[in-house]
């Protein structure tokens, strides 16, 4: 499932809190974007057509909730990035970030901890 960058911003609002009405989504995005109400409603309709959100009638309004789990979306996007740019390998990705943008001590500590956990499980 392909979700555009703009659609993912709407999904983030719904992943954080759902269900929400269109007006609530518009209000949440008004704080962080310069999008107008028609744009946001168009994005909600696109997400509905893609089957990644659902809408339930609540009186005169609809309440929107995600059908796609955030973890599944992150997994798919991560895999696509790794496959496209690094032949599916994590080490070149980490090397790229360490060369282009120095990793902080906290980043290094977290990576060491993760590697230790992976070695322990193997």
Domain with CATH 1.10.4040 in the chain: 70-121
Of the candidate ranges 6-15, 17-26, 87-96, the one whose mean pLDDT is the lowest: 87-96
Domain range 5-66, its CATH number among 3.40.50.720, 1.10.8.60, 1.10.10.10, 1.10.10.60: 1.10.10.10
Give this prediction's pTM: 0.79
Question: Where does 70-121 sit in CATH, by number?
Answer: 1.10.4040
Outline which parts of the chain fall under CATH 1.10.10.10: 5-66
Q: Are 68 and 10 in contact (CB under 8 A)?
A: no
Residue (of 58, 46, 47) closest to 19 by Cα position? 58
CA–CA gap between residue 91 and residue 121 (Å, rounded): 19
Q: Which of 13, 44, 11 is nearest to 28 (CA)?
A: 13
Q: pLDDT tens-digit profile of 61-87?
A: 999 999 999 999 999 888 888 888 888
Three-state DSSP class for residue 57: strand
């Amino acid at each position: 499932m392909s979700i555009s960058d703009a659609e993912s911003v709407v999904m983030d609002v719904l992943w954080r809190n759902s269900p929400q009405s269109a007006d609530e989504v518009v209000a949440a995005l008004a704080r962080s974007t310069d999008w107008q109400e028609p744009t946001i409603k168009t994005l909600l309709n696109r997400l509905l057509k893609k089957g990644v959100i659902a809408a339930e009638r609540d009186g005169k309004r609809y309440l929107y909730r995600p059908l796609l789990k955030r973890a599944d979306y992150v997994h798919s996007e991560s895999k696509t990035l790794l496959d496209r740019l690094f032949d599916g390998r994590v080490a070149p990705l980490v090397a790229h970030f360490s060369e282009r943008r120095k990793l902080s001590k906290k980043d290094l500590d977290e990576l060491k901890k993760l590697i230790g956990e992976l070695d322990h499980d193997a």
